[in-house]
Amino acid sequence: MATIYNLKRQIKDQTNMKISYAKKYNSVLKKEPANTSPLIQMIIQLQYQKEINLQYSTIMGDQKIIYKIVSIQVSKKTNFILSGGMDNMIRLWEQQQDQNQWKEKIFKNTRSPISCMILNKQENSIIVGNKYGYLQIFYLNIENSMITFTNEIQHIHTKEICGISLNPSQNRIITCSLDKKIVLWRTNEKGYLENIEESKRDNAITGIFFLNDNKILLAENKKGLIQLKLANDIFQKNEQIIIQDENEDNYYFPIQYNQIRKILLIKSNRCIYILKELNNDVYEEKRKLELRSIKIYGTLSTNSKHLVIYNEEQIYSYVLFE
């Protein structure tokens, strides 16, 4: 497969935050079905974990399967990635001796199309949201090559789940959906999920993220980025609008955060906002990146230094800090 060449120029904005922009890569992406974008995202994410040159990887599998991938999780402990797809399958891919080759090792049929997926810090639990609004938990055992079904909750969300986030303490889960609801979950004494709080919003929620155990960020369609607070597992009424945007949005680009540098990335419509979290719930806009269309895929590298974006068959690369 072709290599994507890195042509860089430097940009420095009015703040002290230096952003290096890699010029868009032209004439390197073949015309493929529209749903190949998550595959491009997976390739980008794989390459940037180890800070090597941006290029295609060889995914050793049925290309029809790979095109259905919609969610990617990269292990921070070992050389594997998890993918979830509209074909109902969770697949674990293991890196081969050739660093640019990945081969399927484990798979599990969830019996419903996957719309989003996260991996806990211990990397032994996979939390899955699906097209029908179901929330599922699977136990992951890498040593024994097993993915085991644990729990499923139906009928809380009535439409597709768009986002899932675990709090830093790993004892609360929050989900958002096209049904306009956000739901807070916990695991009870028997190990089963139970919803403990929910809120109906005015519009569909396209992204959600636990900033800390008591602070939640959500991207609301036709409204923008909003901060909510939790107190004793109850959503507080005094919410804060961080970015106001009344335009249409979608959920292809999740909210992303660098805790060490307090840098936050949020997508709204055709724009990606790079914000700096300051004290006392204050956020400073560092930069606004405007893309060609609303359908934007993107990822941060493990150390959050690189941002890579895929939009309208073009790849853009940014270095957020030196």
d(CA 104, CA 96) in angstroms, rounded, equals 10
What are the extents of the domains in the chain?
Answer: 32-155
Quickly name the fold that domain 32-155 has. Methylamine Dehydrogenase; Chain H (2.130.10)
Residues 6 or more apart whose Cβ sits within 8 Å of residue 50 = 99
pLDDT at position 126: 95
Q: What proportion of the chain, given as a percentage, has pLDDT over 70?
A: 76
Q: What share of the chain is helix, strand, coil (3-state, %, to 5)?
A: 5, 50, 40
Pairing of strands 101-109, 58-60: parallel
Regions in the chain scoring below 70 on pLDDT: 1-67, 98-101, 301-303, 322
pLDDT at position 98: 65
Judge if pTM exceeds 0.85.
no
Nearest to 160 by CA among 106, 221, 235: 221
pLDDT at position 160: 93
Give the number of other CB atoms < 10 A from CB of residue 163.
23
d(CA 216, CA 164) in angstroms, rounded, equals 12
- Both tokens of residue 185? 């979950």
Query: What's the pLDDT tens digit per position in 253-263?
Result: 888 888 888 88
pLDDT at position 59: 52
pLDDT at position 251: 77
CA atoms within 13 A on the CB side of 185: 27
